[in-house]
């Protein structure tokens, strides 16, 4: 541990919930900007569970070398059941007191924000960064990892289209988004899908089948339907399409490939900007804030206010598919 006496305070960093590409870039930014601004920085492994178990270490600038380009999270992640109890939260707070953590930077999704709010109530100052591929955090236009995940999806779907085209098939491709169709609607538009099925909008499978038959009659030979994970049943959807159109149909669930891989330029830069912003907020002695992107600018909200917001859905883009897939 550092024996510096001139430090302004100690920042603990953790990642929690599902990992997302760009989390490492955020860890690096908070670490380096924190040290640059005169703070001691501690990395906490396995999210709130690591805080409970005092699984942490002091980080210097070299500890975050060579991670900006890597997916996953060097701090590991977890969904801690123990932290959901008051007892667990008190143990986490006891670690902060023992180690001298004044601020926590918590990177993750809604569940991470709720955890931060709980420990804030016990007196630990938290700043949250949005990190999830799903882009399902209401207060922000954008979450770290979303851009990379979409780019991975389009790369995978482009490959599927090669074989779908060669065999004159219909591909039903399920993309991640347990509660949200943001990945689905964007990749559908980006890959020329005939339609997209998400939890946010009603759909009629018979209309999709009719569209496929109508387009087959105009000479189209291969088709793609994107399904959001929250809707599920992609195997059944493929079967139904095959039975009602006569077109050989296959379902592909893209799964965890979407969560890994090198972060895109956008994810690295937004993570860096958010990490530095977190340290700025700490410098202003702000607490219990979440950082968000609004109309390309970084802003911050009270955690509770952020959690009470309702996420919008790009129904305009969804509806555009009707004309784009003619
Ligand atoms: O990271 C978000 C997400 O990818 C969801 O879309 C998905 O349902 C979920 O995580 C699955 O995560 P896990 O299997 O790790 O619980």
Do 252 and 267 have their domain in common?
A: no
Return the bridge partners of 294, or none. Answer: 297
Cα(208)–Cα(211) distance, integer angstroms: 5
Which residue's alpha carbon is nearest to atom 8 within ligand 1?
178
H runs (alpha helix) in the chain:
23-36, 47-52, 86-99, 110-121, 146-167, 182-191, 205-217, 234-245, 265-283, 303-308, 315-324
Overall domain count for the chain: 2
Whether 254 maps to a domain, the answer reads yes
pLDDT of 268 higher than 90: yes
Whether residues 133 and 208 fall in one domain: no
288 in any annotated domain: yes
In ligand 1, the atom with minimum distance to the C-alpha of 259 is 4
Q: Note if 6 is an active site residue.
A: no
Full residue range of the structural domain in which residue 283 is found: 10-145+263-308
In-domain check, residue 95: yes
- Over 90: is that where the pLDDT of 1 sits? no
Per-residue pLDDT of 224-236, as tens digits, reads 999 999 998 999 9
Query: Ligand 1 in contact with 134 (CB < 6 A)?
Result: yes
- Asked if residue 170 belongs to a domain, the reply is yes
Domain match, 286 and 224 both: no
Protein residue whose Cα sits closest to atom 4 of ligand 1? 176
179 alpha carbon to ligand 1 midpoint, in Å?
10
User: How many percent of the chain have pLDDT more than 90?
Assistant: 97
Q: Is the pLDDT of residue 5 over 90?
A: no
Same domain, 136 and 152: no
pLDDT of residue 207: 96
The answer on 241 and 179 residing in a single domain is: yes
The pLDDT of residue 147 is 98
pLDDT attached to residue 33: 98
Q: Is the pLDDT of residue 2 over 80?
A: no
Nearest to 156 by CA among 174, 132, 170: 174
Residue 245, C-beta contacts closer than 8 angstroms, at least 6 positions apart: 170, 209, 212, 213, 216
159 pLDDT above the threshold of 60: yes
Of 170, 172, 155, 177, nearest to 262 (Cα)? Answer: 155
Threshold 0.75, pTM exceeds: yes
Percent of the chain with pLDDT over 70: 98
For 1-82, strand residue ranges (E) read 10-15, 40-44, 56-58
Residue with CA at minimum distance from ligand 1 atom 1: 18
Residue 293 has pLDDT above 90, yes or no: yes
Average per-residue pLDDT in the chain?
96
Instruction: Report, as an integer, the average pLDDT of 63-84.
Output: 96
Q: How far is CA 313 from the centre of its chain?
A: 16
229 lines ligand 1 (CB under 6 A): yes
Q: Which of 19, 110, 134, 195 is catalytic?
A: 134
Please check whether residues 126 and 203 belong to one and the same domain.
Answer: no
| Pair 18, 135 in one domain | yes
Q: Are residues 212 and 285 in the same domain?
A: no
Q: What's the token pair of residue 101? A: 């953590």
Q: How does residue 3 score in pLDDT terms, banded at 50, 70 and 90?
A: low
56-58/40-44 β-pairing: antiparallel
Q: Per-residue pLDDT tens for 183-196?
A: 999 999 999 999 99
Using the atom order of ligand 1, give the atom closest to the CA of residue 256: 4
Inform me whether the pLDDT recorded for 68 exceeds 80.
Answer: yes
């Amino acid at each position: 541990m550092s024996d510096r006496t001139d430090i302004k305070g100690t920042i603990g960093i953790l990642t929690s919930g599902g990992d997302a590409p760009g989390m490492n870039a955020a860890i690096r930014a908070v670490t380096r900007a924190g040290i640059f601004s005169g703070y001691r920085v501690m990395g906490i492994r396995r999210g709130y569970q690591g805080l409970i178990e005092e699984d942490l270490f002091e980080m210097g600038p070299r500890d975050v070398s060579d991670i900006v380009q890597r997916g996953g999270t060097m701090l590991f992640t977890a969904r801690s059941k123990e932290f959901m109890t008051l007892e667990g939260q008190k143990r986490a707070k006891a670690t902060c007191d023992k180690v001298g953590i004044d601020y926590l930077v918590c990177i993750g999704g809604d569940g991470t924000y709720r955890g931060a709010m709980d420990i804030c109530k016990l007196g630990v100052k938290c700043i949250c960064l949005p990190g999830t591929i799903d882009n399902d955090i209401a207060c922000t236009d954008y979450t770290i990892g979303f851009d990379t995940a979409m780019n991975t999806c389009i790369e995978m779907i482009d490959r599927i289209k090669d074989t779908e085209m060669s065999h004159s098939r219909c591909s039903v491709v399920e993309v991640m988004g347990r509660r949200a169709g943001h990945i689905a609607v964007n990749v559908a538009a980006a890959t020329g899908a005939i339609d997209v099925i998400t939890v946010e909008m009603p759909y009629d499978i018979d209309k999709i089948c009719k569209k496929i038959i109508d387009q087959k009659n105009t000479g189209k030979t291969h088709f793609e339907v994107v399904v959001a994970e929250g809707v599920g049943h992609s195997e059944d959807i493929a079967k139904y399409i095959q039975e009602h159109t006569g077109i050989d149909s296959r379902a592909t669930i893209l799964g965890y490939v979407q969560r890994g891989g090198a972060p895109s330029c956008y994810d690295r830069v937004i993570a860096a900007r958010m990490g530095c912003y977190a340290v700025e907020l700490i410098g202003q002695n702000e607490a219990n804030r979440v950082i968000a992107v609004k109309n390309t600018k970084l802003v911050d909200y009270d955690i509770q206010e952020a959690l009470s917001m309702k996420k919008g859905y790009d129904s305009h883009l969804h509806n555009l598919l009707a004309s784009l897939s003619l």
